[in-house]
Amino acid sequence: MNGKAFWRWVLVLLAVLALGCSATGLLLGPGAALLSQNQGTQPATEAVGPVPQNPAPGPAHTAAPQAVTNDLEATLTRIYRESAPGVVSIRVYGPDSRGDFPDGQGSGFVYDKQGHIVTNFHVVQGAEKLEVTFADGTKVWAQVVGTDPGGDLAVIKVDVPADKLHPLPLGDSDQLQVGDIVVAIGNPFGLDQTMTWGVVSALGRSLRSLQQAGEQGGYFAMGDVIQTDAAINPGNSGGPLLNLRGEVVGVNQSIRTGGVVVGEPTNAGIGFAVSSNLVRQVVPVLITQGRYDYPYLGISALDDLPLTAIERLNLPQSWGVYVVEVVPGSPAAQAGIRGAQTPADGDAHTVPPGGDLIVAIDGQPVRHFGDLIGYLTTKVKPGDTVTLTVLRDGERLDIPVTVTERPTSRP
């Protein structure tokens, strides 16, 4: 395999957002796995909350921590009471189903009074029938309305009386901060109406999506991903991640695995959720058009370069997105963005020289790949023109690029 072919495999195509998952248990990267599940056993788990630390014994040091604990318990109880009626369990019947038993399961939440329910694309992918169970035990069939493999989102619809529908409000995921407490409600391992809580561990992550990159091979990337340590496991896919106001700030999507329980990947304290602001942007379009189109640059790139590469390539700074390849005929190519030049005898394990270093988009700093993908995902539409600020041969350049729709094969 030559150097160029190697980079095509190890780099993520930066053709705008890319969200990713796949069939049950498919790895999304080192140790990352989807949260939908096959039918399996139901292991017991136990969660322990933080224990207030008193600087010294005595009444003066016990009252305040106890009050804080009571307030948090009351808040979590309220969130569950108000939100659980809007969370559903989804059973998926497909080619591998056996008689009355489904071959997959996930979660979802009620979006509106018209019966629309939001879940993950990978939950409903390939489904022949979808069974939805509400918190009160009501079971109905659902139909797929629209799918978005690029954002791993899907909308399904049920026909039930309005009093059965309890839509959950969408929050503003841009207001999240690392350390905010968040709550997940879903159906891990088939254990319906399970609630867990934790914190926002990181923001602006990027993951591989299920959207294939057409003739270029590989998959697009998905951006604006929330990382959390709230316990989420197979079966949580598509369920809501809520803030302490009971607003949906994310859709639980995948985990970084740390072990296996009865053949299923288990949570290692690192979970990922699609941001609510992407949901707010994509879902209305899925309802009306059945699909969503993301903007496309047409580059493959690396971020977080090792110091050895930074020094060898004489890059003036350690952050930014280094362009390794530009797709011929793509918006980036037409705008003059430069990719790296792999020498004929180049080492496939060495970053090749000559690529532009993208350090900003429309004036917004780009320190990591997630910054670029996240901005394209949530702020840009096909046909828009963005300005990429690049460092090239020691010179800082502002290059306008008119993005197009992603060239992909529709599922």
Task: Catalogue the active-site residues.
Answer: 122, 152, 237
Cα 54 from Cα 65, distance rounded (Å): 8
Greatest pairwise CA separation for the chain in angstroms: 75
Q: How many CB atoms lie within 10 A of CB 67?
A: 11
Alpha-carbon distances of 302 from 224, 337, 399, 411, rounded to whole Å: 17, 15, 19, 28
- In 146-199, which residue ranges form alpha helices assigned H by DSSP? none
Selection from 330, 300, 325, 302 nearest residue 402 by Cα: 330
Cα 220 from Cα 19, distance rounded (Å): 7
Backbone angles phi, psi at 181, to 5 degrees: -80, 135
Cα 225 from Cα 207, distance rounded (Å): 8
HEC letters along 2-26: CHHHHHHHHCEECCCCCCCCCCCCC
Alpha-carbon distances of 248 from 1, 241, 252, 310, 325, rounded to whole Å: 46, 6, 10, 40, 37
Which residues lie below 8 Å from residue 246, measured CB to CB, with a gap of 6+?
Answer: 78, 79, 82, 83, 168, 169
The structure tokens listed for 84 are 């659980």
Cα 290 from Cα 70, distance rounded (Å): 45
Cα 263 from Cα 283, distance rounded (Å): 33
